[in-house]
Amino acid sequence: MATFKELQDQIAKLKQDAEEVRLKEIGGAIAQIKSLMNEYGITVQDLESTGRRKGSKAASLSNVQFKDDSGNTWSGRGRMPAWLKGKDKENFRVN
């Protein structure tokens, strides 16, 4: 049976081997990604601009469906806000 020190040495060697293999495989992964990008005409800008950013003020403003005179808003999704409870929400519809 191996000692604790021997096992620790084996773990360190395996970690080093794994990192070397990862570095070798990265080149292949990058080549595959570049090939797919060329095949579909994808640019780096396409990758950066996909999807909506969370917390974006512009995105949240465009989804407003209900608004009161105090400036409170609600998209109509999720739980109804307290400022709208007990009231006819259609009276506050924006669109």
Residue 1 sits in the same domain as residue 43: yes
Residue 5 sits in the same domain as residue 45: yes
Strands of the chain, DSSP E: 66-67, 73-74
Q: pTM, whole model, 2 decimals?
A: 0.40
Q: What is the CA radius of gyration of the chain?
A: 27
Residue 28 sits in the same domain as residue 65: no
The tens digit of pLDDT for each residue in 66-93 reads 999 998 999 888 899 999 999 999 999 9
**CATH code, domain carrying 78:** 4.10.430.10
Residue 72 sits in the same domain as residue 40: no
- Phi, psi dihedrals of residue 82, rounded to the nearest 5°: -60, -35
Return the pLDDT at 57: 57
Return the pLDDT at 68: 92
Return the pLDDT at 3: 97
Please state, in angstroms and as integers, the Cα–Cα distance from residue 33 to each residue in 36, 46, 50, 88, following that order: 5, 14, 17, 53
The tens digit of pLDDT for each residue in 24-58 reads 999 999 999 999 999 989 998 888 875 655 555 55
- Taking the C-alpha atoms of residue 92 and residue 66, their distance in angstroms, rounded to an integer, is 5
Q: In total, how many domains does the chain have?
A: 2
Residue 46 sits in the same domain as residue 65: no
Residue 36 sits in the same domain as residue 58: no
Residue type, position 93, single letter: R
